[in-house]
Amino acid sequence: MNNEIYSNPLCERYSSKEMMYNFSPDKKFSTWRKLWIALAESEKELGLNISQEQIDEMKKNIYNIDYELAAKKEKEFRHDVMAHVHTFGTQAPLAMPIIHLGTTSAFVGDNTDLIQIKDGLQIIKTKLINVMNNLSKFALDNKSVATLGFTHFQAAQLTTVGKRATLWLQSLMLDLEELEFREKTLRFRGVKGTTGTQASFKDLFNGDFSKVEKLDILVSRKMGFDKRFTVTGQTYDRKVDSEIMNLLANIAQSAHKFTNDLRLLQHLKEVEEPFEKSQIGSSAMAYKRNPMRSERISSLAKFVIALQQSTAMVASTQWFERTLDDSANKRLSLPQAFLAIDAILIIWNNIMEGLVVYDKIIEKHIMSELPFMATEYIIMECVKAGGDRQKLHERIRVHSMEAGRQVKVEGKDNDLIDRIVNDDYFKLDKAKLLSILEPKNFIGFAPEQTEKFIDIEIKPILEKYKNLLGMDSELKV
């Protein structure tokens, strides 16, 4: 590691080897060479004068990339594609005359970008499925654990820990649906020429449009794509990049929402992310257990969400058949977005594998609020026993106001139940009141909803992708 130059934290600290490789020079430039080979093979199949020896020589040198020579050539030509054409030609001299035949730079550049997007989506999908699997287990394990609901972060009607987790899970389900759609509809640029008219191939194939169409289809299929753009300019439509970025940003939004909730719950000491034996929360405050993982996800998610604007601006400012003001931006935005989402899902999976629920703290918080929430139920019980609804309502209102004052002004515990027990008008003993205050009476159908959601929405997904389950969620740092 060279400590005298900037290193990207996404690579040094967060992302996986497989995602880093997907956007590495080795993947990029070996894919360029595979594209040139697919082009040569297809042109040969369609009758151009290309020998098998030339193709074999190229195949032998797919991964034999002389980066030093390529850098020297790029400095000389000020053109990265031609630098690599000449570098490849030096290693495969027989093939030099037919490398890149009829194409423009976007043939290797754009098609490689699309291959990296396709492979990147598969990596993301694998990690997404694993997070969903762990979230579904957590939801089912805690489907009946009553907890305070929060609206406006103020105590509201009870829900369950598991039901709340289904909301996080549902966001990821929607993200997966979008990812599947993007995978299904992703098109290859193919073989289109300098401005998309295939003019150079018209010359090569003596005006035979059907052969040029076959060339486009052959190359696309050899590179793993059934769908291709029927028309392009010099480049594929940059809306594709914007749509992919929107997908990645949607996943970032889901992750950020989850970590917001978890950080608030950890503050309440109800739920806590994993904390390792030797982990240090603060250099000064030795007792601290900070939600470091959640905060890291939050930080990376903000980065990806902000990148949405970048690809949108590129897509909206491409002139006519193309301008080059997309190039430097594309080198930065999409790879880093993929790396960041990869990291987010690794961290999220790590959290889910060690998430701790503190039932007693949750119960304590419930009982500090539930007496207020249960007042309507208490009134109904007393009315059934012959009480006057209006008088009951007024007496319980007065008791509630005083109990609330003591909690907020004097810092005392909520004594509303004791006040009601000691008020002879209610004619309820403490045992009866506590039976009314059983938390399970206030969670509605949360357990049933959790089970139903997992059964009808999530289990089919996990079954469909069961071959993707199982991943290393170890953090680098």
Catalytic residues: 152, 282
Q: How far apart are CA 21 and CA 18, in angstroms?
A: 5
The residues pairing with 357 across neighbouring beta strands, listed in sequence order, are 271
Q: Who contacts 350 (Cβ-Cβ below 8 Å, separation ≥6)?
A: 274, 293, 473, 474, 475
C-alpha gyration radius of the chain: 31
| The pair of three-digit structure tokens given for residue 419, joined into one six-digit string | 């006040």
With H, G, I as helix, E, B as strand and everything else as coil, classify residue 102.
coil
Q: Closest Cα to residue 160, out of 267, 271, 275, 266?
A: 271
CA dist 186 and 113 (Å) reads: 12
Structure tokens at 328: 């430097």
State whether residue 284 is helix, strand or coil. Answer: coil
CA 160-162-163 angle, 5° bins: 65
Give the H or E element holding residue 81: helix 80-91
d(CA 88, CA 238) in angstroms, rounded, equals 29
d(C-alpha 112, C-alpha 43), whole Å: 19
Overall residue count recorded for the chain in this entry = 477
